[in-house]
Copies of this chain bind each other. A is one copy, B any other.
Amino acid sequence: MADEKDYTGQTPAWCPGCGNFSLLATLKKTLAAMDIPPHELIVVSGIGQAAKLPHYLRCNAFNGLHGRALPVATGISMVNPDMKLLVTTGDGDCYGEGGNHFLHAMRRNVNMALFVHNNQIYGLTKGQASPTSRQGMKSKTQPFGSLSSQFNPLSMAISQDCGFVARGFIGDREHLQHLMTEAINHRGFSLVDIFQPCVSFNKVNTFKWYKERVYHLEEEHDAGDRMKAFQRSLEWGEKIPVGIFYRHDNNRVLTDDLPPLKNGPLPLQDFDPQETTQILEEFY
């Protein structure tokens, strides 16, 4: 079995006390326990504190543009579905700038796990409201308070029948490891929205704030029941559930429907220009 140390990357440049440290540690533990060799793993990210993660992990990495991790991951998956594919991203990266890709990657059912480090704030750019910030939150760029209602990624994912919808909290590592493992194992697009307190800019949704509210969905929760899952995903207040809200294997995975993959991943298929010459015949 692999060791967590096998996944040690660069030294993180996060703030001391940042929730991302626990997240990273849990991810390493998960990967080690699942015995996924670093070179069979590709981690794609955008830009933000969360999106720096691939540098801090030993793996293949594509650290792309703010908001654009999912299309990159989609392209990778479509030509080489054999790689283990993760996307690590922030709430701004994924639900703000990248909102359209979030919707459409889900519809494509790309076979990958999406970990959203949800600190309800823009961390790297120093504290602006994000889509998951609470409505009315004031900041230096929200003089009237955040004017938008708080985005609910779980209910949206359930509304589009995403096959794996979960929420975790970095303050509960064992549970988070369980979610990460299940997400990676799930065949298809899996979303894990992870509460990750930002100690520098989010003075409301702190570790303590989450700790006080977070509770596990009951064992009896039937993750196969879409209506129930939807209902539970709407809970937000003094108590906030974490766990696997919704889960099923009903949907076709994107790469199921790609005939060119029948002979294996495209990068492994040879190309011989000679075999294409007939293509000009139709012009005569």
Which A residues lie at the B interface, using CB under 8 A?
98-100, 103-104, 107-109, 131, 135-136, 144-145, 147-149, 151-152, 155-156, 158-161, 226-227, 230-231, 233-234, 251-252, 254, 257-259
Contact = CB atoms under 8 A, between A and B. Distances in A.
Given A100-B100, A144-B257, A149 B161 contact: yes
Given A144-B257, A230-B227, A258-B144, A159 B152 contact: yes
Contacts of A145: 257
Contacts of A259: 144
Given A104-B131, A109-B148, A147-B254, 4 more contacts: A99-B100, A155-B160, A159-B230, A159-B233
A104 B230 contact: no
Nearest to A98: B100
B149 A107 contact: yes
A160 B156 CA distance: 7
Contact of A160 (B108, B151, B230): B151
